[in-house]
Structures are given as structure tokens and as C-alpha cells.
Amino acid sequence: MSSLYLPPEAVLKKGDYLLATARKPKQLRVLIEHYPETAKAVRLDVTLSQDIQAAVDTVIATFGRIDVLVNNAGHGLIAALEEVSDVDIHQYFETNFFGALRLMRTVLPVMRQQGSGHIVNMSSTAGLVGFGGSSLYCGAKFALEGTSEALAKEVESFGVKVTLIEPGAFRTDFNGRSLAAAKQSIDAYAPVSGASLQRFKQMDGKQPGNPRSAAQAIIQAVESPHPPMRLALGTDAMSLIQEKLSGVKTDLDAWQQVTVSTDYTNSNN
């Protein structure tokens, strides 16, 4: 699983306009200096509604429209469910799920009025596949997947499209500074969450996925007249998702008789 940082230069090199956001916009200074005519940076903390509204107002005032929203805020957390507190859970979902919802709800009226737009939500293989030691991360991504799939059907008639990006392991800082661990670990979960954390640390800098190639793949999907609902990125993502789908089919087939037995029939009405 991965949280994929998308190089913004991929968009700007095409000649497109970009409103780049960060909690510390100074981090984007070099980017803006290189593309002063087409790029603008603003502060955005996705947990703050006022920041979101201000960012949307800025992009409309500056560029006049919003063609693509990329929801990419978030961070990893390696911890078993029992190792996190209620406060941890609420804070984690605020950033990794509710922030994306706030942005979508703020941008959608603009896209509806335009009659066009594309929402790109950064999910993960962990949005379809559950990993031990990643209960909250998987929970937030699963929630984003379900919301996005339903949203796509809600806004299709308005000319608005929705795509979920499901990366595998990419060479970003996800396994480094963006990866948090349980504040209070429980020894019993060491073989699960503890081992998972160690694997992620050992993989840091060795992930097979290339973020620049991923950016080009996402651009290709957005520019397609028939973009995918889900776009898996990386051979590891493909393998994990195929394994998940095979497991779902195996369970359905094995329990088919029980499944269909729960319907009303003429004999048990």
C-alpha cells in the first residue's frame, strides 16, 4: 500500500494551470518560481473548512474554473485497532477521509455549474485489500472507495467524473516521515503491527513504483474520454487486487447455497 505524492511538474509541463496546496505553502516556493504564470500556491489544511473554502475561492478567482480536483492529503498509520485511542481514530479520519469529503462537497457545485469536471481520489491497494496492522488506514481508504463509487453515479448526469487511484508501493516518503506508529503498542500485536512497521521501514527507498510514471498514468486517465472508475498502479497492486477478487469469488461460490437460501420462497412466505 502507498500514499502517492504526485510531482506537480507533470501537469505544469503540459501547459495546464495548477493551484498547489500545502499546510506550509513556502514548501512550494521553488515550483511557483519556475511556473509563475500557471501555478499558484495556497495554504490548505483539509481539516479546516475555512481553508478549503478559501482555496476554492482562490482557484475560481485566479483561473475561473476547476477542471480537476486531486484529493491527495493523508498519511500512513501502522497500528492494530486495539492500539489506537478514540482521539487517534477521529484525528486520523479527519485528515484521511473527512478532508476529502469536505473538498468534494465544496468543489462539486462549481463542477455542476460548469457541466464538467473530474474528481481524482487517491486511494490505495489498501482501499480494497485489508492489511493487518493497518486497520485505520484501510478503514479510511475503504470509506473513500465506497463514497467515490456512489458519488460517480450521483454526478454522472452533470458531466462530472470520478476516478479512484489505487497505488501499490511507490518510492515516496510514505514509509518515512509520513508513516506513524501506535503511540502505545501492545506486545501481543508485535507479530502483526510491529512486524508490519519493520517491513515498511526496510522497504523505504526501495519501493518498485515510480511516482513520475504514476503521474503520467493519472494524466492519461483524466484525459481519456472513458476514464476508469478505478486505476491500479504498479505490478504489486495488480497482484494484490487480483488475489482479493479471487478470494471474494471463492467465498461466493463456496457459500452460494447459504446465500440464496435467505430469500423468501413460495414455501416459506
Which residues does the annotation mark as catalytic?
Answer: 123, 137, 141
What region, left, alpha or beta, does residue 261 occupy, with left being phi > 0 and alpha being psi -120 to 50 degrees? alpha
With a CB cutoff of 8 Å and minimum separation 6, the contacts of 89 are 136
Helix 86-93 vs helix 135-155: angle between axes, to the nearest 10 degrees? 40
Give burial (CB, 10 Å; 0-12/13-18/19+) of 40: buried
Cell of 78: 501502522
- Angle CA 191–194–195, to nearest 5: 65
Cell of 132: 493487518
Cell of 40: 499558484
Using the structure block, give the residue that is written with the C-alpha cell 509520513.
178
Type of residue found at 233 = L
Report the C-alpha dihedral over residues 205, 140, 6, 108, rounded to 10 degrees.
180
Distance CA 163, CA 118 (A): 8
Cα four-point dihedral sign 197, 199, 200, 205:
positive
| Closest to 229 in 3D by CA, of 156, 163, 154, 148 | 163
